[in-house]
Structure 1
Amino acid sequence: MKTPAGLRGVVVLPLVMLFIGGLALSGCTWFGGTSKPAWVDGATGEFSSSQYLLGQGQAANKSAATDQAYAAVARIFKAEVAAQAKDWESYLLVEHRGSTNTERRLTLDQVTNVSTDKVLENVKILDTWYDRHQGMHYALAGMHRGQGEAAMMDKMRELDRMIETDLLEARQTTDKLTKVRDLRRATRNLVMRDAYNADLRVIRSSGQGTSAAYRVNELSNELDQFLSTNLVLAVEVTGDHAEPIQGALTEGLIREGLHVTTQRAGSELLVRGTVHIWPIDVRDPQFKYVRWCSDFDVVESATQRVVGVVSRGGKEGHLSDREATAKALRVIQQEFSSDLAKAIASHVFGEASLPVQASSPAGCPRESTPANPALSSPRPF
């Protein structure tokens, strides 16, 4: 049945009104999903800043938005930890001993990463919102201040117990290596404890932390003083280009926080080794090659007991024998000496043990290699 022409407008108008009314009832659904939360525009709303530490993220997909929200919270903590670095400079920051600047094994980045990882265990995604009109996801991450404070206090109390235990043993033991390792571990844990205390200041609305019973620079100085008087290392290198290699190894050990002497007498540990460089024929029409080898051991001066050995070698090539030798010497001075110094320091500080027997086939051959006068004095570089 056809609708009379005069009635068509009457029928269409209610339909249009019904459609508009539906849009009105849906609120912002047409443009942005559910209604925009107040926190998207910076208002705290139900998530009060007095109760929560907040971070917001936005991205084209939900996963990226939540990652950004977590990162926003993490940046707050990292900034506070970084601000405390000056108090740890004797332990963490760049050392200027020797001719080359380097960083200690426990760096500021490591401290902030470990600390922030622990902090973020207490951070949750509190809310998300999708803006359909803009095609943008929003996420709000937050830590409940009370829960975060309780978690930080638990970690700090555990570190305080570990520090006290290590210091008690360090000051009672008569074994020099044990004392060094206990002091080192106590100092490292104190750095982490201070980092957590920096986190605590962020979590607490008052901005106040809970001070430790010790200071990092005090323990660092105690360790350094003991090393300088009770655990000095001597270095002896023989073989090809022994003098520059010995100098590079000595500098590497000093950069690692150890004390080195040129005299065997009075040393606690002796680092001794031999290095050889010789030409090899690989039938290359353009380049000349040399092979290098090194055998080092670390010996207790008093007992002559070998506590660790390191053997390493390699092959280097260049346009001439002399240039290939110079390149090999650079590798030994810059890379191998640094790696060996770190391995020895890790052993002294109890972070890793040196191997007690050589397992690498790259060590020096037992039969001496004929000397080559052409390789004995490489061109300066």
Structure 2
Amino acid sequence: MKVIYDEAQKKHYPGFFLTSGARAPNPERPERADILFAAALRAGLTHEVPADFGIAPAAAIHTPEYLEFLANIYARWRHIALASEEVIPNIHPDRRDGAYPLSAVGQAGYHMADTSCPIGPDTFASALRSSHAATQAARLVSRGEAAAYALCRPPGHHAFRDLAGGFCYLNNSAIAAQVLRERTPRVAILDVDLHHGNGTQGVFYERADVLTVSIHADPVRFYPFFWGHADERGEGAGRGYNLNLPLERKTGDEGFLAALDRALSRIQAFAPGALVVALGLDAYEGDPFGGLSVSTPGFARIGGLIGQLGLPSVIVQEGGYICDALGDNLVAFMDGLRASHAVARGVKS
């Protein structure tokens, strides 16, 4: 299996994070990529730098209005007297059908859901290269490789079509799924991050060609709060094509794996031609966010069960923050996935 990654993804270096009203260092630091990349190599993956696909893969998911905003907002922000070092919203519309403002301040509020996605001088370029990693991994799988790992940093699953949030700017998992759709009529996305993949759900909520399934900490008292509840099933043509499996805080291996069984059953009923795994390692018991309690051996079991599907698979890195076991958790997941995936695909052939 290949790990797709470019060092340019590290240039985005957010300094700001507002949590429960208090300013703190942003945990989505470049060192995350160093740890995960070293772990991928330790797991036996081979490195490949993604090609430059330009803006087209992102434009298949995100609105041109939003992409224009991301590309230009930092330069515009620097012209504001006394502006912060990074673009940080201070006002938000109460609905999405209001007027679209001309001001940089107003557009920041319109296109940024919260204060955990500050935009600096290298944010858009890094996010674009992250989307290229997802695109290349998906193209490899579309062309016959069994699986590929897109080491996406910054992550993406909280980004909607026209809205950044939760450390995310471009929705890499959605971009990968759309690339896979070029070769197969149905694609499933399985999100195992600690936090609900609200942006991914939003992108596909009215579509029947992409099944979205998310296992996450119950949002009733946890980010992203407003999405990720069990009664969200999709709308219009997408009704019945979204499944949320919220878990109580501190749920450990057995509870997570029970939810995973339900998730995999739903995916099998959809009969997709390919799978995107939005891989969050922040469900770990020692992750700084402390929402769930999955162990390192638990990640091996999660990978093993997913691999048993035998589907062509794109693994897209989402969350998972700096702690002693971050790299070990990735190795455990990859070892479990690759072993069972090889067996499943061997049986099918």
- Same-fold status (TM-score > 0.5): no
Q: Of Structure 1 and Structure 2, which has the larger fraction of its residues in helix?
A: 1
The structure with higher relative contact order (CA 8 Å, sep 6+) is 2
Q: Of Structure 1 and Structure 2, which has the larger fraction of its residues in strand?
A: 1
Task: Flag the structure with larger Rg.
Answer: 1
